[in-house]
Amino acid sequence: MMLPVSKTLGREANGTRSGLERPKGRTSFLRTPGTPDLEDSLINTKRRKDNKVWWRRERASKMACDPRITQPIPLAPRVLSNGTHEFDPTVIVLSFDGLRADYLKRGLTPNILSIGANGVAAEYMQPSFPTLTFPNHYSMSTGLYPSSHGIVANMFYDPVLNEDFNYKIPEKSWDPKWWGGEPIWETAVHQKQRSGVIMWPGGESLRPVRPTYHVRYRTGVSVLEKMETLLAWLDKPREERPTVMTVYISEVDSTGHDFGPYGKKTQKALGEVDSAVGVLLDGLRARGGLDKVVNLVLVSDHGMSYVSTAKCIYYDDYIDTSDLILEESLQPHLSIRTKDPQRMLEIYHTLKEVQERDHLPFKVYRRDEIPERYNYRDNERIAPVVVLADPGFVMTRRDMGLAVAGAHGWDNEMEDMRAIFMASGPSFPNFGPEKLRPFENVELYEIIARTVGLQVKEGATDGVHNGYVAQPC
């Protein structure tokens, strides 16, 4: 709807508001005096939907750049041979938890970089908000934002189910009621392909359709063992061999938390995971040049930023925390929920006031105030009040202090939160040193689907590139 810009903007002679002036405290520009509240909320809902369409279009045009280099990945790739065996289109996705995009500039990752040099590499991949492990791994595997797939944090409370999700408690978190959307390993099985999942967050969810092969999460499994499992899967006969394989690799994240992004052990972990990629590449080459037959996609879920006690915000200095339902502490991102809605409002106003008065380094949002670009509003599991620390700062309590040297969870546009994307194989063109323009990780599901010819229903994901790799500029 187009509204004419006219001289009637603003306050009319009788003191009522008219035209485009925004009524104070309202989110709609379109409300006319006397509109009932219900109708007003319907208008707002429509406006939110319009905004979403606009936002998607805006994102698509922001990311589309030079059509010269747009490369369609063949939708139904052909069967390839390594000389002795036929291979259906196959993709291996390796996710390195907490591997910040600029870690690749440290000269420690020649094998990871070789994937990009032989195929495509993005300047970086943008994680979804909040930049945490479970929401992002499930976004990558479903193509949906956390507010769409429902895993809105690593720990959260669902007011409808009156239960909480905790990624560390399998009996709570693997119930399929938590997990929305359709992960790629399930899409593969639905479409008569086979999938293999090694420890990928969400892979253990007990949804009715399970991956064909699954290695459960447990500590103490080295990244080399995971590469050996992949190679063993590739050695299976064609009719048993998985075509979509996803692998979760935790080492760089855990050392990043314990020793910080610049810690010696983080550097060592980077070198180790890179060597493991070298072992995988050697294994592929030793199988008659499978590196030219199998698509490899290397990603991470988010980055890592250095934190110190000098940059802790002790939120219990400002609010009574005794009646918070669930807190995900030691995070830049703090969810606030109490049984009593009035109390929640009190906390909101208190935090807002002290923040404004003392210029404290965080933002306080009611759920409906969370910036649109986070795509983090439309789900009851998102707490009614969300506090987000400024880059480099963390929210903690006096009794908890700070037990880590690195963290993540901030604004997904923050440089330290950037993730990696690179890919090689028959579905990916070789762009040489030219880097792909950054894109959001909700694009990944369709990229993976396209490499192996899986069909994706129109509008089934929050991606806007339809499975094409984003264009370099």
Residues catalogued as catalytic: 133
Rule CB under 5 A: is residue 416 a binding residue for Zn ion?
A: no
User: Pseudo-torsion of CA 448, 450, 452, 453, nearest 10°?
Assistant: 150
Q: Which is nearer to Zn ion, 139 or 379 (CB)?
A: 139
Q: Which is nearer to Zn ion, 233 or 421 (CB)?
A: 421
Q: Which is nearer to Zn ion, 131 or 193 (CB)?
A: 131
β-strand partners of 365: 386
Q: Phi, psi at residue 43, to the nearest 5°?
A: -60, -45
CA proximity to 125, closest of 361, 437, 399: 437
Q: Phi, psi at residue 42, to the nearest 5°?
A: -70, -40
Q: Dihedral of CA 44/50/51/53: which sign?
A: positive
Of residues 240 through 269, those in contact with Zn ion by CB under 5 A are 253
Rule CB under 5 A: is residue 133 a binding residue for Zn ion?
A: yes
The enclosing H or E element of 385 equals strand 385-389
* Burial (Cβ within 10 Å: 0-12, 13-18, ≥19) of residue 220: exposed
Stretch in the footprint of Zn ion (CB under 5 A) among 242-250, 300-308, 413-421, 442-450: 300-308
The least distance separating Zn ion from the CB of residue 254, rounded to whole angstroms, comes to: 10
Q: Strand, helix or coil at 271?
A: helix
x/- binding map, residues 40-79, to Zn ion, per CB under 5 A?
----------------------------------------
The least distance separating Zn ion from the CB of residue 140, rounded to whole angstroms, comes to: 11
CA 252, distance to chain mean position in Å, is 17
* Number of residues engaging Zn ion in binding (CB under 5 A): 4
Q: Which is nearer to Zn ion, 205 or 338 (CB)?
A: 205
Q: Which is nearer to Zn ion, 347 or 419 (CB)?
A: 419
Rule CB under 5 A: is residue 328 a binding residue for Zn ion?
A: no
> Which residue is nearest to Zn ion, using beta carbons?
133
Residue entry with tokens 């208008």? 43
The least distance separating Zn ion from the CB of residue 407, rounded to whole angstroms, comes to: 11
Enter the DSSP assignment of 473: -
Stretch in the footprint of Zn ion (CB under 5 A) among 91-99, 185-193, 244-252, 326-334: 91-99
Q: Which is nearer to Zn ion, 88 or 204 (CB)?
A: 204
Enter the DSSP assignment of 107: S
Give the residue, chosen from 186, 204, 301, 446, that forms a contact with Zn ion under the rule CB under 5 A. 301
Q: Phi, psi at residue 12, to the nearest 5°?
A: -85, 170
279 dihedral zone (left: phi>0; alpha: psi -120 to 50; beta): alpha
The least distance separating Zn ion from the CB of residue 376, rounded to whole angstroms, comes to: 17
Quote the CA–CA distance of 183 and 186 in Å, as a whole number.
5
The least distance separating Zn ion from the CB of residue 346, rounded to whole angstroms, comes to: 33
β-strand partners of 335: 386
Task: Look at the chain and count its residues.
Answer: 473
Stretch in the footprint of Zn ion (CB under 5 A) among 95-103, 318-326, 385-393, 443-451: 95-103
Fill in the amino acid letter for 334.
Answer: L
Stretch in the footprint of Zn ion (CB under 5 A) among 97-105, 345-353, 368-376, 431-439: 97-105
Rule CB under 5 A: is residue 97 a binding residue for Zn ion?
A: yes
The least distance separating Zn ion from the CB of residue 301, rounded to whole angstroms, comes to: 4
Binding region for Zn ion (CB under 5 A):
97, 133, 253, 301
